[in-house]
Amino acid sequence: MSYDNENIFAKIIRGEFGCIKVYEDDHVIAFMDIMPQADGHTLIVPKEAAETLSDLSDDGAAAAIKVVKKIVGAVKVAMDVPAATVMQLNGSEAGQTVPHIHFHVIPGSILGGKPHAREMADQELLKGFADKIIAALG
């Protein structure tokens, strides 16, 4: 399968579509999920054009995991939770809704929580959570 360069995450990476960003470097961007499963739900998206984890280069995977680790710590502090769920849905059959590799950091447990990608959140509420996460990143 060939990579769809017009998917929403590719457009966010290129700056063609907005997001509530909490982190960015040369390899990865992290922003608030607009259909969160919990308050503070953050997405970590490698900038490399890859649909699934298998398509991502080893260097891209290493860069992404380093940022996932950083975001997990910031989300726990910002949202005042003792734990976070880290999730990567690898392929549409696994529930991946955007055909670009990405990781979810969800404060607390998703057991009994909101379903994945079903309900849009209030943008101002998301901006408030983003500000807390950015502050926790230092």
Domain count, the chain: 1
Cα 17 to Cα 43: distance, rounded to the nearest angstrom = 15
Instruction: Please give the average per-residue pLDDT across 54-77, as a whole number.
Output: 98
User: Is 1 among the domain residues?
Assistant: no
Q: Which of 100, 102, 104, 116 is catalytic?
A: 102
In a domain, 63, yes or no: yes
Tens digits of residue pLDDT in 15-39? 999 999 999 999 999 999 999 999 9
Q: Is 104 annotated as catalytic?
A: no
pLDDT (average), residues 32-51: 96
Which residue range forms the structural domain that includes residue 43? 8-137
107 within domain boundaries:
yes
3 located within any domain:
no
pLDDT at residue number 119: 74
Over residues 68-74, mean pLDDT = 98
Residue 120 lies in a domain: yes
What local confidence, expressed as pLDDT, does residue 125 receive? 85
Residue 117: pLDDT above 70?
no
Q: Is 85 inside a domain boundary?
A: yes
Distance CA 94, CA 100 (A): 13
Q: What is the CATH number of the domain that holds 126?
A: 3.30.428.10
Contacts of 32 (CB under 8 A, 6+ apart): 19, 20, 22, 41, 42, 43, 121, 126, 127, 129, 130
Confidence of residue 129 (pLDDT cuts 50, 70, 90): confident
Identify the weakest region by mean pLDDT among 73-82, 87-96, 126-135.
126-135
Q: Is position 17 within any domain?
A: yes
